[in-house]
Amino acid sequence: MPNTYKQSFKQHYVDNIELSIFNCGLQSCEPGYTWGPGVRDHYLIHLVASGSGTYTEDGVVHSISAGDLFLVKPNHLITYSADEKDPWEYYWVGFNGAYANKLVQQLPFTEAKPVHRCKSPDAAKNALLNIFNSRGPEPRDEALMVGYLYIFMAELMKETPAPESHAANIRSQYVINAIKYIQFNYAHDISIDNIAQAVGVSRSHLYRVFMSNVGQSPIDYLTDYRISESCYLLKNSQLPISEIAVSVGFFDQFYFSRVFKKHKGIPPSKYTASTEAAAKE
């Protein structure tokens, strides 16, 4: 049995709300090593390079061996355990964001089958290693990691048996058009009615396709995007907080501060200092 090890990387601050990597790594587990039962707040994909184990999702147990991938979805009760006699070695990436749900829907997993036998495990392994080897605290590092995540997704999409239906593609396009509208207009005083009108659907239909494809409501996405842009300005400009608030579509500084603290856990006045401290760790 090979020596056990674990190498991992976790992002302290995630500002790319379209698709963000939360963590990544590789591990050779000790016999019986177990995570859970518990829930994750993001997506997580493991590729088992050697050994075996089990993955339990919502009470259903799946046996896993070398060459298998298993998908962890947010807010599902899960447990995964290495075999007692032949413990596994695996590579993983954790991610989330507005595009995450749409991308996952195009991968070779289903609600009933969160495990997939990989046809090109070497290509998938290399893509995961590229993500890990590109780790770092700078924006360029995050951009490179996300780029390799897309390559990893593309490798898995080759193994998806059937494309999305025409209706599903149309729903996805509504979401993409709405996101584009938000990205171009977030600094203005826009409402969900404005977004729905620009896309050409009703407010209720926009809500449904957002929840289905993104996993959050349009107003939550808009707020997240504004907060993300404000983080960039806080770190890369000398603007006072009042001007940053207006620049990202908040016309009440005190309301902006409350929303920012709710999302980031700290007020905007302390965000830059906290970011710098995390980068030095």
- Three-state SS for 224-271 is HHHHHHHHHHHHHCCCCHHHHHHHCCCCCHHHHHHHHHHHHCCCHHHH
> Which domains does the chain possess?
5-157 (2.60.120.280), 166-280 (1.10.10.60)
**pLDDT for 186 beyond 60:** yes
pLDDT at 280: 44
Number of H helices, E strands in the chain: 10, 10
Packing angle, helices 203-213 and 192-199, rounded to 10 = 90
**pLDDT for 276 beyond 70:** no
Q: Which of 26, 22, 61 is nearest to 40 (CA)?
A: 22
Report pLDDT digits (tens) over 187-218.
999 999 999 999 999 999 999 989 888 888 99
DSSP track, 2-38? PPPEEEEEE-S----SSSEEEEEEEEEPPTT-EEEEE
**pLDDT for 1 beyond 70:** no
Confidence of residue 273 (pLDDT cuts 50, 70, 90): low
Report d(CA 120, CA 79) in Å as an integer. 26
Contact 82, 47 (CB under 8 A): no
Mean of the per-residue pLDDT values for the chain? 87
- Using the structure block, give the residue that is written with the tokens 């407010």: 203
Give me the mean pLDDT over the 59-87 stretch: 95
Contact 230, 255 (CB under 8 A): no
